[in-house]
């Protein structure tokens, strides 16, 4: 193979210049892709989509509209459309039996796997969008210094995220509760705690606090910091970096439920074994050695980025089913081209407007994510039911 150019030694100053050039490009790219205001906007819903969301037929929507107490939407040409927040009002009313009951707390779900690129962020963001469409109030906490979830929400980690927009002040001890960092997002019903590279500092701040104060439990910092959010939100979703870092341990310790996205490849399967092994070692060292314990309401293994007709993945799928048994969610997320275009990569399947692409490809991806959200919602509802029962008992 030809060498592209004579090799050139790169100094730290060169790297700094390079970093600045790519960061500036990101600003331009975002401005070009999210015209005209460089702000994202959520899609609108048709009558059919609204009916599907509320699990009723279109006639029921038309009939219910005559009462006049729910948003009527607006006519666009000859079809009626509802904004995302109007659709959520309908969902809360028509799906009222699925909403958080009085006395129940918000459920924290951590999406984690220390392998990179397994679809953690995609899973966290689509789950946040799917649950909010179903009427739940969602907080998305981005704990990955890469800020990928933050970027998907149309916020640039490098240029637009400051210390106090992130969980960093919680980890340094400037705040005890994360509420200071909660901001609304472009998507109604989802609030956001952003991440940026500065969050790497937590990997130093947390062990330093532990050294100064032996009574400090670094792994409980986030769990304690979510007290207010657990009453303000129905669901808290945490996206984590691809490592078992101090921050990831906090996210797992704060979780009621864990979702481990896992592509059916041999290396990813092997890595997942190490993840659980290391995690249980850590729990023994930190928690059980102190006579304490930690349990999860649910742990879900989600087969992600599954390639249809791939012989290797069907073998590994068998390993996953055998190894993880009933933890494996009965839905597979197909590897899909729906978010493969450059501009769509700044969003998820739920951001795409209707008819923006091949209908069958879109439906296949969308149906899988809808089912994932439905399965997770069922588990959340089961936890709430238990909470309410134990209150009464
Ligand atoms: N079902 C899918 N089909 C095709 N591409 C996908 C799918 N899910 C995710 N991707 C793509 O795979 C890449 C990695 O996804 P994502 O960022 O969600 O992974 P991650 O686990 O959060 O990565 P990281 O470890 O860097 O945080 C992205 O480009 C994303 O668009
Ligand atoms: Mg990610």
Residue range 128-172, pLDDT digits in tens? 999 999 999 999 999 999 999 999 999 988 889 999 999 999 999
Predicted confidence at residue 220, as pLDDT, reads 95
From the CA of 113, the nearest ligand is: 1
Nearest atom of ligand 1 to the alpha carbon of 113: 21
Q: Which CATH architecture has domain 102-392?
A: 3-Layer(aba) Sandwich (3.40)
Q: Whose CA is nearest to atom 10 of ligand 1?
A: 119
**Cα 341 from Cα 374, distance rounded (Å):** 27
Q: Whose CA is nearest to atom 9 of ligand 1?
A: 119
Nearest atom of ligand 1 to the alpha carbon of 122: 18
Q: Give me the residues paired with residue 45 across strands.
A: 82
Which positions of the chain have pLDDT values less than 50? Answer: none
Nearest atom of ligand 1 to the alpha carbon of 336: 3
Nearest atom of ligand 1 to the alpha carbon of 115: 25
pLDDT in tens, 349-389: 898 876 666 778 888 889 999 999 999 999 999 999 999 99
**Would you call 139 helix, strand, or coil by DSSP?**
strand
From the CA of 243, the nearest ligand is: 1
Nearest atom of ligand 1 to the alpha carbon of 117: 23
Tokens of 183: 């901001």
Q: Assign 3-state DSSP to the chain and report helix, strand, coil percentages, each to 5.
A: 50, 15, 35
Predicted confidence at residue 13, as pLDDT, reads 83
Predicted confidence at residue 340, as pLDDT, reads 65
Tokens of 304: 């992600």
The answer to whether 44 and 84 have CB atoms below 8 angstroms apart is yes
- Cα dihedral across residues 254, 131, 229, 97: positive or negative: negative
Nearest atom of ligand 1 to the alpha carbon of 118: 21
**Cα 41 from Cα 265, distance rounded (Å):** 35
Lookup result for tokens 């769990």: 223
For residue 186, report the distance from its CA to the centre of ligand 2, in Å: 20
- pTM recorded for the entire structure: 0.93
Helix (H) or strand (E) holding 306: strand 298-306
Tokens of 366: 């969308």
* Sheet containing strand 79-82, strands side by side: 45-46, 79-82, 74-76
Question: Which of 112, 116, 117 is the best mutation target for the ligand 1 pocket, counting ligand atoms within 8 Å of the beta carbon and taking the most?
Answer: 117
For residue 147, report the distance from its CA to the centre of ligand 2, in Å: 8
From the CA of 120, the nearest ligand is: 1
For residue 69, report the distance from its CA to the centre of ligand 1, in Å: 41
CB-based pocket (< 6 A), ligand 1: 116-122, 144, 146, 148, 242, 305, 333, 335-336, 339, 345
Q: Whose CA is nearest to atom 25 of ligand 1?
A: 116
Going from N- to C-terminal start, the domains of the chain cover: 45-94, 102-392
Q: Whose CA is nearest to atom 29 of ligand 1?
A: 345
For residue 188, report the distance from its CA to the centre of ligand 2, in Å: 22
Question: Which of 114, 122, 365 is the best mutation target for the ligand 1 pocket, counting ligand atoms within 8 Å of the beta carbon and taking the most?
Answer: 122
From the CA of 259, the nearest ligand is: 1
């Amino acid at each position: 193979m030809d060498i592209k150019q004579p090799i050139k030694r790169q100094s730290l100053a060169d790297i700094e210049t390079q970093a600045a050039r790519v960061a500036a490009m990101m600003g331009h790219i975002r401005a070009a892709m999210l015209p005209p205001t460089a702000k994202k906007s959520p899609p609108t819903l048709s009558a059919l989509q609204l009916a599907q969301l509320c699990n009723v037929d279109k006639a029921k929507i038309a009939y219910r509209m005559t009462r006049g107490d729910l948003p009527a939407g607006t006519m666009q040409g000859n079809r009626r459309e509802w904004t995302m927040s109007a659709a959520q009002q309908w969902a809360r009313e028509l799906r009222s039996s699925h909403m958080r009951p009085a006395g129940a707390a918000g459920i924290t779900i951590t999406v984690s796997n220390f392998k990179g690129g397994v679809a953690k962020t995609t899973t966290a963001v689509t789950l946040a969008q799917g649950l909010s469409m179903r009427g739940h109030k969602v907080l998305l906490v981005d704990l990955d210094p890469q800020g990928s979830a933050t970027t998907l929400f149309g916020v640039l980690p490098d240029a637009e995220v400051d210390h106090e927009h992130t969980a960093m002040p919680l980890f340094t001890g400037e705040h005890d509760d994360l509420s200071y960092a909660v901001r609304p997002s472009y998507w109604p019903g989802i609030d956001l705690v952003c991440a940026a590279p500065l969050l790497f500092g937590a990997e130093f701040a947390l062990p330093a606090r532990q050294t100064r104060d032996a009574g400090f439990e670094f792994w409980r910092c986030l769990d304690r910091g979510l007290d207010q959010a657990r009453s303000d939100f129905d669901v808290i979703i945490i996206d984590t970096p691809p490592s078992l870092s101090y921050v990831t341990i906090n996210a797992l310790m704060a979780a009621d439920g864990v979702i481990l996205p896992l592509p059916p490849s041999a290396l990813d399967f092997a890595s997942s074994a190490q993840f659980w092994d290391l995690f249980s070692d850590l729990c023994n060292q930190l928690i059980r050695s102190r006579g304490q314990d930690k349990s999860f309401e649910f742990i879900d293994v989600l087969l992600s980025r599954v390639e249809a007709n791939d012989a290797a993945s069907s073998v590994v799928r068998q390993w996953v089913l055998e190894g993880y048994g009933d933890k494996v969610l009965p839905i597979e997320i197909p590897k899909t081209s729906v978010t493969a275009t450059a501009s769509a990569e700044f969003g998820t399947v739920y951001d795409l407007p209707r008819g923006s692409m091949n209908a069958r490809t879109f439906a296949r991806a969308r149906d899988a994510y809808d089912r994932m959200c439905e399965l997770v919602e069922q588990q959340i509802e089961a936890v709430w039911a238990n909470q309410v029962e134990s209150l009464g008992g």
